[in-house]
Copies of this chain bind each other. A is one copy, B any other.
Amino acid sequence: MSRFDVIAFDADDTLWQNERNFMNAQERFRTLLAAYHSKEWVDERLYEAEVRNLPHFGYGVKAFALSMIETAIELTEGRVSSGDIKSIIDTAREMISADVELLDHVVGTLSALSRTHELMLITKGDLRDQESKLARSGLASHFRHVEIVSDKRPGNYAAILERHGITPGRFVMVGNSLRSDVLPVLELGGTAVYVPHELTWSHEEADPPPAGRAGYFQIGHLGELPALIEQLEETA
């Protein structure tokens, strides 16, 4: 009997590039404001606006665009041109329709694991944007279930597990965010595989669990996942 019923994956920066698109947009944003402020100050104030707006606007491109517009107005004391504001909205539209670029090893790993396990996608952000990226990624057929959530706290995971009748001990979550993919799942008694991505938004950072924490594993890239799962199944 297998040890795990479901292997769930985060999407952004676990299966496909995402943060890089935000960073490129932020680079353009800094250029707009270069005459007014240093790069560091622009970044700091934009981050403040994003975190302040999270409870209202949530995650995703539209929230990011509204935070950039607010920050541009604040940092220029209202002198930002409407052409610059229009270009921020154009950037948001481009981000939403940008090509979905898969990370290395994703297709092989999902193909291999979908033969032995039920796979699930659990991602947060704008509903329409995430659905569209999944459709364009070509990966949808690997996943039995897709859950798009507004946040990834323990309660969100608990609701998903309950809805699908999954025992936490038989659930694995794989993702690049310690805060959103790893810590809440460990808290529920599940298994979490951390796959660091070179770019991760500051807000997703957290201290890693102590070495040897039950259920916690880290791999270098997604290509190492099938071997890890196989090893865990054998020692079950």
Contacts and interface: CB of A to CB of B under 8 A. Distances in A.
A27 to B, nearest CB: 21
B70 A66 contact: no
B69 A85 contact: yes
Copies of this protein, total: 2
A24 interface: no
Interface residues of A, number: 34
Contact of A86 (B62, B70, B93, B150): B70
Interface stretch (A29-37, A74-82, A173-181, A183-191): A74-82
Interface in A158-204: none
Contact of A69 (B89, B93, B129, B148): B89
Nearest to A53: B93
A118 to B, nearest CB: 15
A83 B77 CA distance: 10
Given A57-B93, A69-B89, A78-B82, 4 more contacts: A62-B63, A73-B82, A78-B83, A127-B127
Among all A-B residue pairs, the 7 with the closest Cβ atoms: A58-B128, A128-B150, A62-B62, A78-B82, A127-B150, A73-B82, A56-B93
